[in-house]
Amino acid sequence: MNERAGSPVVETRLWDLPTRLFHWALVVLVATSWGLGEFGPDIMTLHFWSGYAICGLLAFRLVWGLVGPRPARFASFLYGPRKVLAYAAGLSRRQPSRWPGHNPLGGWAVAALLLLLVAQVATGLVADPEDFVNVGPFASAVGADLSRTATALHETLSSLILLMVALHVGVILFYRHWKREDLIGPMIHGRKAVDPSAEEALSRSAPPR
């Protein structure tokens, strides 16, 4: 999506305080959980508590994605393939998108990361590394085979989440230096210059079914 001559770009309050607090708390807790999981201590009590906190954040985001302000709602940023492809077609243009919320590509990236984190928390709750110490609180409820599978998946998902985080940072840098659009500032103070007609214009340029 490019910035068109005469487009009505306005400064608006985009991200509400709960969404911003969720975002930065998740950043801190995911980094903390990953660090504790990779570097110890061997008795992972702190890792578990960090995971519980992430579980609480994800529960909040699920509710907020249904009842929160429009930019935070899942229905506002999970677009169909036509709009995703249309947005992707203009991604290389060296112009800010001024998108009023998560853009069609970013929205699905958010959903993918949230789903990975849900799976990571779920596998951690039932994991059993067979060290008789770092056992998930619900491991005994699912059986030894599933607990061992969950342990392996927990490690694999950790790598996938790290990859998603690296992609997220890369996209932020791409928007900052190539498209000249700041995505970090709005998630701190909540305000962003947006084009309210961007979504409507994208609909007109979307390829036919």
pLDDT digits (tens, 9 = 90+) for 68-104: 999 999 999 999 999 999 999 999 999 999 999 999 9
pLDDT of residue 1: 41
Every domain of the chain and the residues it spans: 10-205
Omega cis (within 30) before 207: no
Query: What's the pLDDT at 201?
Result: 65
pLDDT of residue 85: 95
Closest CA to 126 of 106, 108, 146, 112: 146
Q: What is the pLDDT of residue 130?
A: 85
Model pLDDT for residues 5-21, shown as the tens digit of each residue = 456 788 899 999 999 99
Q: Which residues of the chain have pLDDT under 70?
A: 1-7, 201-209
Q: DSSP label at 208? A: P
> What's residue 193's pLDDT?
92
CB 150 within 8 A of CB 142: yes
Helix (H) or strand (E) holding 188: helix 184-189
Mean pLDDT of the chain: 91
10-205 falls under which CATH superfamily? Transmembrane di-heme cytochromes, Chain C (1.20.950.20)
Q: What are phi and psi of 181, to 5 degrees?
A: -135, 125
The residues facing 194 across adjacent strands are: 10
Task: Give pLDDT, residue 209.
Answer: 44
